[in-house]
Amino acid sequence: MANYAEDAFLQLSGIQHFAFCPRQWALIHLEQQWADNVRTIEGNILHQRAHDAGLAEKRGNTLTLRDVRIHSRRLGIAGACDVVEFYADENGVSLTGRSGRWRPCPVEYKRGKPKEHQADALQLCAQALCLEEMLGCTLDGGMLYYGEERRRYPVCFDTSLREAVETALSRMHDYAARGYTPRARSTKGCNACSLKDICLPKLKRCPSARAYLRAAVEEVKGCENC
Ligand code: SF4
């Protein structure tokens, strides 16, 4: 993968949208469509809490930095880590303004519970790849914190996860360069999607707009007869 110019950088957090649904990512990041639902609002509140708690804190052998700005020229992404914890480690990296050496571990805050898909792990691993490029080190793993369960889950940055990140980002750059928005694919995930009223995934299942409108009218009639 070649180095990207800054004006071609993509928003790092978009990789979770892309993993969930490439069309959702394109609607948000290429067409600037956005619609909040309960899930996105709760997620924003949780992130705000993670970012509000102060920028740096040191306790014992752990240094905690919040809202850490990161980027990767190789991957063409920029964004922020909710939290990066640095553990004192003689095999770690040096940090500007800090004595000693430190081993970084990104921590990403999420609402809800762990999910079946790996969107959150991809986002965390993309953060790790940025930190590796910026700090000149290799990260073994990070943590995902889920608000509903109030606990952390470790994520291993193994080869398959790293490759999945690079593949997703390569496709995202391709779509961005072409201004391509994939067609809707109606899945069970659509019910939880904040963009379903913009995307209209059911429209694709109908042979024509007339058939879609007829089906919508029948649905309303059905409700009136309830
Ligand atoms: S409604 Fe479904 S197809 Fe449309 S953007 Fe959301 S998840 Fe993707």
Per domain, the residue ranges of the chain are 6-182, 184-226
C-alpha 14/C-alpha 77 separation (Å) is 9
pLDDT number for residue 197: 87
Nearest Cα residue to atom 2 of ligand 1: 190
C-alpha 143/C-alpha 180 separation (Å) is 33
C-alpha 165/C-alpha 19 separation (Å) is 9
Choose the CATH number for 6-182 among 3.30.413.10, 3.40.250.10, 1.10.150.530, 3.90.320.10.
3.90.320.10
C-alpha 204/C-alpha 184 separation (Å) is 7
pLDDT number for residue 206: 47
pLDDT number for residue 157: 98
Structure tokens at 148: 């509903």
How far is ligand 1, taken at its centre, from the CA of residue 195, in Å? 6
Nearest Cα residue to atom 3 of ligand 1: 184
Index of the ligand 1 atom closest to the CA of residue 193? 6
Q: What is the mean pLDDT of each run of 10 residues along the chain (226 residues)?
A: 87 95 93 69 62 73 94 96 96 93 97 91 98 97 96 98 98 97 90 87 57 59 53
C-alpha 66/C-alpha 218 separation (Å) is 52
Nearest Cα residue to atom 5 of ligand 1: 24
pLDDT number for residue 226: 47
Structure tokens at 170: 């390569």
Residues 169, 188 contacting (CB under 8 angstroms): no
How far is ligand 1, taken at its centre, from the CA of residue 186, in Å? 7
pLDDT number for residue 1: 54
How far is ligand 1, taken at its centre, from the CA of residue 196, in Å? 6
Nearest Cα residue to atom 1 of ligand 1: 196
C-alpha 90/C-alpha 87 separation (Å) is 10
